[in-house]
Amino acid sequence: MDNRSDVWRGVDTIKPRFIELSDRVWAMPEVCYTEARSSAEHLAELRHQGFRITENLADIPTAVMGEWGEGGPVIAFLGEYDALPGLSQEAGVAEHRPVETGGHGHGCGHNLLGSSALLAATAVKDWLAANKVPGRVRYYGCPAEEGGAAKAFMVRCGAFEDADIAITWHPHSFWEVAVTPSLANTRADFIFTGRTSHAAASPHLGRSALDAVELMNVGVNYMREHMPSDARVHYALLDTGGIAPNVVQAHARVRYSIRARDLPGMNELVERVHKIAQGAALMTETKVEMKIISAVSNILPNTPLEQTLHRIMEDLGPPHFDDADKEFAGKIRATLTDKDIASVYYAIGMEPTDRPLADFLVPIDAKRNPLIGSTDVGDVSWVVPTVQVHAPTVAIGTPFHTWQVVAQGKTPAAHKAMVQAAKAMAGLGVKALLEPELIAAAKADLKKRTTRTPYVSPLPAHVAPPLDMSVA
């Protein structure tokens, strides 16, 4: 049973407040750096639980930290609460049904992520109080994970300097320790400036910024054949120069996301993209400015923490899903393609099954074929030994950043998974407090990985948190 330890029972005792917190955040989806209400909800809960509060971390209004305890090791829990644009969706229905046309939605499950991390932190706080053990527990409320790199800014300002280990989780299809690597990532805007003119009467006098953007995109497309196979480059047009085709567009702006397996590879790729932009400007006789928006590092694994967490998750067991949970997951599954389902099984080296929800622990040494993304947890992992739980909040195969994730964000199954994730995280936190040798081993592992390649922030020194990135 999953209530054998004091801290697990503690999670069960207080979980209703945090399930309600998760549902409230789900209902107020806010995107990168605009999470005023969601942050306020977490801040209010931290105050209710008696944490010492620090606000405005790294000059980010929606970044908060709560601490409880004295002396001893510092155990950090990382939470998030940002949503995604364009993913508005009613809860609990297995069809696309937006609440608000074009509205936001929690398509990555961060309503669950932050609430569960705070639940774990609170349970460890209560355990510290009951057992009078020296040590401190912290909850970091981290905004703008979806491209805003808030944690990278928080690392740069020293917010994690004295933390001993960091623990977090993410909604997922499976119950597992997250051992999948992530890609380093830079987001940069390329702003082209040309000269307007009458597109028919005097086209020779105009210099099209939109032409420059198009040529840049063509150049990057050719580059894709000549870059590492595990690198990724994507773009979004932010400004096409207006709606009048008979006016030569004097301004245009495109945002690129440039990913690579490690920081040196990413920096090299960023420079190549920059050169392509400069070439496009040269061809069109326009000017171009590259503006770095955000940047994150790749995740560093930590073997001692991963192995210990796996044993805890094995002992704890997966969430206890009932027939109603499986029935709704089956309805969601019917909206997915066979490729959706096969791809997540492929990622863990398993053949697809008919299971609607994951009721098993993925072996830590599974022969994985990772589906690689990026996260600002990576920067924390370079300065603090860091580990992550994956918990099955969605029907197996549900692609993230979709309406299906939003539809499952308030289900009883998602609540059960977030509570089980909290128990796993809290269990590891208590174990670290009781076993200094675990912290020592985790720190030694990190030191070994960073001795040859020390951490250097991927953020240029002049780049401030892009608080307006979602309204630009």
The answer to whether residues 115 and 18 touch, using CB atoms and an 8 Å cutoff, is yes
Residue-level pLDDT at 472: 52
**Residue 197 vs residues 279, 287, 288: alpha-carbon distances, Å:** 22, 16, 19
Contact (Cβ atoms closer than 8 angstroms) between residue 151 and residue 33: no
**Residue 77 phi, psi (nearest 5):** -115, 130
Check residue 153 and give its pLDDT: 98
The whole-number average pLDDT for the span 121-139 is 97
Instruction: Give Cα separations from 406 to 86, 399, 451 (angstroms).
Output: 11, 11, 42
**Sign (positive/negative) of CA torsion 375, 378, 379, 385?**
positive
Q: Which residues of 151-187 are buried (b: 16+ CB within 10 A; e: fewer)?
A: bbbbbbeebbeebbbbbbbbbbbbbbbbbbbbbbbbb
Domain-by-domain residue ranges, the chain? Answer: 6-182+299-451, 184-295
Distance, in Å, from the CA atom of 431 to the CA atom of 440, rounded to the nearest integer, reads 13
CATH class of 184-295: alpha beta
Tell me the pLDDT tens digit for each residue of 288-311: 999 999 999 999 999 999 999 999
Looking at residues 168-185, what average pLDDT do you find? Answer: 96
Q: Are 106 and 406 within 8 A, CB to CB?
A: yes
> Which pLDDT tens digit goes with each residue over 78-103?
999 999 999 999 999 999 999 999 99
Provide the edge-to-edge strand list for the sheet that holds 287-296: 232-239, 251-260, 184-193, 287-296
Q: What is the mean pLDDT of residues 217-243?
A: 96
pTM attached to this predicted model:
0.95
Token duo for residue 86: 């364009």
- What is the radius of gyration, based on Cα positions, of the chain? 23
pLDDT band at 417 (very low <50, low <70, confident <90, very high): very high
- What is the arrangement of strands in the sheet containing 52-55, beginning at the earlier edge strand? 52-55, 64-70, 135-142, 74-80, 165-172, 386-392, 176-177
Fold classification of 6-182+299-451 is: Aminopeptidase (3.40.630)
